[in-house]
Structure 1
Amino acid sequence: MASWVILVGRISDVDHSATPHKIITNRDYLAHPALFRGQRPNVINLSNNYGYQSRGYYASLLASSRGHRVIPTVETMIDLSERKLYENALPELEQALNRCRKELGGEIPSRLTVFFGIAPSKASDRFARLLFDWFRAPALEVAIRDEKGWASIRKIGFLPLARMSEAEKERFVACLGTYTSREWRDSRTRTQARYSFATLVDPNEELPPSAISSLRHWARVAEKMGVEVEPITKKDLARLANYDALFIRETTAISNHTYRFARRAQQEGMPVIDDPLSMIRCTNKVYLNELMTLNKVPVPPTVMIAGPADLEIAAQTLGFPLVLKIPDSSFSRGVKKASSPAELKALATQWLADSDLLIAQKFLPTEYDWRIGVLGGEPLFSVHYLMAKKHWQIVNHERGGKPVEGGFKSFTLAGTPQHVIDVAVRAARCIGDGLYGVDLKETAEGVYVIEVNDNPNLDHGCEDAGEKDVVWQRLTQWFIDRLERQGR
Structure 2
Amino acid sequence: MAQLILVVDDVSAWAPYFPSENLLDFESYLTQAPVKNAPRTRVINLCKNNKYLSNGYYCSLLAEARDQTVIPSVATLNNLRNSALFAFGFDGVSEALSAFTAENGSKSEGKNKGEGEGKGELKKLKFKSYFGRSPLPELAALCRELFERLPCPVLELTFKKRSRWELTGLATLSPRELTGEEEDHFAEALEAYSRIMWRKPKSVKRYRYDLAMLVNPDEALPPSDAKALARFVKAGERADVNVELITRKDYQRLAEYDGLFIRETTAIDHHTFRFAQKAEHEGLVVMDSPASILRCANKVFLAESFTKHGVPIPNTLMVNPKNKETPALLEQELGYPLVLKIPDGAFSRGIYKVADRAALIDTLAILRNASALVLAQEFFFTEFDWRIGVLNHQAIFACKYFMVKGHWQIYRHHDSGKQADSGGFVTLPTYEAPKAVLNAALKAVKPIGDGLYGVDIKEGNGRVAVIEVNDNPNIDHGVEDVFLKDKLYDIVIADFVRRFEMQR
- Say whether the fold is shared (TM-score over 0.5): yes
For residues 13-412 of structure 1, the aligned pairs below 5 Å read 91-95=73-77, 195-306=209-320, 307-308=322-323, 309-398=325-414, 402-412=419-429
3-state DSSP class of the match of 1:320? Answer: coil
CA change 1:320–1:221 in 2 (3 A) is same
User: 1:354–1:89: structure 2 CA closer, same or farther, 3 Å change rule?
Assistant: farther
Alignment partners' CA distance in 2, 1:453 and 1:90: 36
Cα contact 2:338–2:377 (8 A) shared by 1: yes
Cα distance per residue 1:188-216 (max 9 Å; x no partner):
xxxxx972111111111111110011110
Per-residue CA shift, 1:28-55, capped at 9, x if unaligned?
xxxxxxxxxxxxxxxxxxxxxxxxxxxx
Contact 1:283 1:328 in 2 (8 A): yes
Deviations 1:258-310 (A, max 9, x none): 11111111011111111111111101000000001000001111111113322
Quick one: which amino acid aligns to residue 91 of structure 1? S
Call closer, same or farther: CA 1:94–1:216 in 2, change over 3 Å: closer
Could you tell me which residue of structure 1 aligns to residue 466 of structure 2? 449
Kept after mapping to 2: 8 A contact 1:304/1:310: no
Decide which structure has the larger Cα Rg and report it.
2
Q: Contact 2:208/2:241 (CA < 8 Å) preserved in 1?
A: no
Distance 2:215 2:414 in 1: 26
The 3-state SS of whatever aligns with 2:431 is: coil
Deviations 1:77-98 (A, max 9, x none): xxxxxxxxxxx99933244679
- The number of equivalent residue pairs is 319
Q: Report SS of the residue matched to 2:480.
A: coil
Letter of the structure 2 residue corresponding to residue 202 of structure 1: N
Once the two structures are superposed, residues 305-361 of structure 1 have per-residue CA deviations (whole angstroms, 9 ceiling, x without a partner) of: 113322221121111110000000110000110111111111111111121111010
Structure 2 equivalent of residue 71 of structure 1 = none
1:145-167 deviation line (CA, Å, top 9, x unaligned): 9999999xxxxxxxxxxxxxxxx
Residues 391 and 109 (structure 1 numbering): CA distance in 2 closer, same or farther, change over 3 Å?
closer
Once residues 216 and 261 of structure 2 are traced to their aligned partners in structure 1, the CA distance between those partners, rounded to angstroms, is 13
Q: Secondary structure at the match of 1:383?
A: strand
Amino acid at match of 1:227: V
Conserved 8 A contact 2:208-2:240: no
Change in Cα spacing, 1:294 to 1:97, as seen in structure 2 (3 Å) is: same
Q: Which residue of 2 aligns with 1:176?
A: none
Q: Give the TM-score normalised by structure 1.
A: 0.61
CA displacement 1:419-475 (0-9 Å, x = unmatched): 111110110112101000000000214100001000100012211222333321110
Letter in 2 for 1:331: F
Among 427, 452, 470, the residue aligned to 2:444 = 427
Judge conservation of contact 1:435–1:455 (CA < 8 Å) in 2: yes
What letter corresponds to residue 459 of structure 1 in structure 2? Answer: D
Work out whether residues 254 and 280 of structure 1, in 8 Å CA contact, stay in contact via their aligned partners in 2: yes
**Contact 1:208/1:249 (8 A) holds in 2:** yes
Q: Give the 3 Å change call, closer, same or farther, for CA 381–355 of structure 1 in structure 2.
A: same
Matched, 1:470 2:487: yes
Partner of residue 439, structure 1: 456
Paired position in structure 2 for 1:180: none
Counterpart residue identity of residue 219, structure 1: V
Question: SS in structure 2 opposite 1:93?
Answer: helix
Question: Partner residue of 2:141?
Answer: none
Distance 1:463-1:109 versus aligned 2 partners, 3 A rule: closer
Cα distance in 2 for partners of 1:354, 1:383 equals: 32
Distance of 2:372 and 2:446 partners within structure 1: 28
Indicate how the Cα distance of structure 1 residues 420 and 149 shifts in structure 2: closer, same or farther if over 3 A, else same: closer
Give distance in 2, aligned partners of 1:436 and 1:325.
20
Structure 2 counterpart of 1:205, which letter?
Answer: E
One-letter code of the match for 1:296?
G
Q: What is the alpha-carbon distance in structure 2 between the residues aligned to residue 402 and residue 460 of structure 1?
A: 19
Identity within the alignment, %: 44
Contact 1:305 1:311 in 2 (8 A): no
Change (3 A) 1:408 1:96: same
Q: Which amino acid aligns with 1:336?
A: Y
CA distance in 2, matches of 1:486, 1:439: 31
Provide the C-alpha distance between the structure 2 equivalents of 1:385 and 1:352, rounded to a whole number of angstroms. 31
- The CA distance in 2 between the partners of 1:404 and 1:264, in whole Å, is 35
User: Does structure 2 conserve the Cα–Cα contact (< 8 Å) formed by 1:377 and 1:428?
Assistant: yes
Contact 1:194 1:242 survives alignment (8 Å): no
Q: Is the 8 Å Cα contact of residues 194 and 243 (structure 1) preserved in structure 2?
A: no
**Alpha carbons 2:342, 2:371 under 8 Å: kept:** yes
Q: What is the CA–CA distance in structure 2 between the aligned matches of 1:279 and 1:262, rounded to whole Å? A: 9
Going from structure 1 to structure 2, the CA distance change for 1:149 and 1:246 (only over 3 Å counts) comes to closer
Runs of 4+ in structure 1 over 3 Å off: 88-92, 94-98, 107-111, 145-151, 398-401
Q: Which runs of 5+ in 2 are unaligned?
A: 1-69, 87-165, 173-206
Q: Hey, what's the Cα distance between the residues in 2 that align with 1:150 and 1:239?
A: 23
Structure 2 CA distance, aligned partners of 1:311 and 1:236? Answer: 47
Q: 1:94 to 1:399 in 2, by over 3 A?
A: closer
RMSD: 2.7
* d(CA) in 2 for partners of 1:427, 1:89: 41
CA distance in 2, matches of 1:109, 1:196: 39
Pairwise CA distance, 1:399: 6.0
Q: Partners in 2 of 1:403 and 1:146 — Cα distance?
A: 44
C-alpha distance 226-444 of structure 1, shift in aligned 2 (>3 A):
same
Cα distance, 1:146–1:410 mapped onto 2, change above 3 Å: closer
